[in-house]
Structure 1
């Protein structure tokens, strides 16, 4: 494998993405849309290793609370270590389809690239709606992998790669375009949908987010790409001027006042 590509997913992928220019940009937008202030109770669904939790704790102050939930025990352990000195933050292992929370008990809810992986995004949104107080807000940041564009040596190979990502790699690969409609059908008032398009001109930076060569090899194994086409495609990405982009949508959704 070319030195341009990482041979395996990095263990610190989520934290590294959060610290990147891309991560800081859309996370700042999502945090601003949450409209956090002193005394609010905040729920982070699919919090992962807890990248967003310290900022939320600072925003809601000592009279507010922050609860991070994730199904992955290792991520929960890492998040707890990150926030161990923040008394207003709690992190629990949980199934976000079934929240062990009272109805109308949370002021703000947040997801960041979590709904793309869950079994039933509609169920998660229904649970989010249930636990939000009337007038509360959910800010949902989710990619649409159907918008992925990679400039390769031929359109057919890049298109096949994109189909593989949507159909096989990500459970809900087109959640970005579906999210506003799902939220409205759940009962939310969708206030805004803000597109954030990530543009990559450096193949190494793109590979850290997209796993280009690793995913291409999986596409060969799944029959989406032929060996020769995959080899030519990855060689082109590693040696020629690079371009890729994908769009994430930040959906701002409020529970109507009582």
Structure 2
């Protein structure tokens, strides 16, 4: 199976682009794009390689300021190398629980980050502290329980995905964080809390279909290794799920929908 899987990975590797670098402000954080105007100060927490942060800087212009934060130094270095020519744009390595800002930003945003945290309420409180009074906090995240594929992927992947959700849950991560965000916002005293569905649907006619659908093969090939070590799946189960999913996405897959919500609120003055 190892040689078959290696061949399958190689056959499809040229058709996939890196998920982080393929994202754009307009396609991957639509609600934020609607809110941006020239001259704003924006903090983007969990910016990765800076693809969305770059889009923010272009929209707010040189009179504004945008800071991209990520806890991964390698991603921050990549962001600096790629986007070092944009006025008002800077990147720094920092942890969401130890942000070096207080009441500085008009908008504080974090996309696809709280899903990985065991203390999302504490993280949201830190983001709130970085916003100016009257500033806006905008969180975009998933409910992993509501993913939809057409047609259904192989049973090996469905079994792996169930184990993946249990592995996350046992580690303290909230698989349904998107639907729990409004309650967190209200508990932390935000005003004018609102919800905007931002579900990501990709179909076989989309030019980046394979790169988007491939995410779960990549999860099986990366985080799946840790799941094997932790006893949630065997190596044979992990490898079978990855190989059969790669085959399914190339030959059978028609669509995938990731359930996402953008939840926002205003910090009281």
The answer to whether TM tops 0.5 is: yes
Aligned-residue offset at 1:244: 5.5
Of residues 187, 192, 195, the one that matches 1:192 is: 195
Deviations 1:109-162 (A, max 9, x none): 1112111223421111111112212322122111222123451344xx454222
Deviations 1:179-217 (A, max 9, x none): 222222222232223141434548843453222652696
* Number of residue pairs aligned between Structure 1 and Structure 2: 250
Instruction: Provide the rounded CA distance (Å) in 2 between the counterparts of 1:53 and 1:177.
Output: 25
The aligned counterpart of 1:235 is 244
RMSD of equivalent CA atoms: 3.5
1:163-178 pair list within 5 angstroms? 163-168=162-167, 171-178=173-180
The aligned counterpart of 1:205 is 211
Of Structure 1 and Structure 2, the greater helix share is in 2
Deviations 1:164-184 (A, max 9, x none): 222225844322222222222
Larger mean Cα displacement after TM superposition, 50-59 or 243-252: 243-252
Instruction: Provide the rounded CA distance (Å) in 1 between the counterparts of 2:196 and 2:142.
Output: 12
Deviations 1:26-47 (A, max 9, x none): 33x13334x1112211000011
Instruction: Provide the rounded CA distance (Å) in 1 between the counterparts of 2:137 and 2:105.
Output: 10
Instruction: Provide the rounded CA distance (Å) in 2 between the counterparts of 1:24 and 1:149.
Output: 23
The aligned counterpart of 2:28 is 26
TM-score by length of 1: 0.79
Structure 2: runs of 5+ lacking an equivalent: none
Instruction: Provide the rounded CA distance (Å) in 2 between the counterparts of 1:192 and 1:179.
Output: 9
Structure 2 CA distance for partners of 1:7 and 1:47, relative to 1, 3 Å: farther
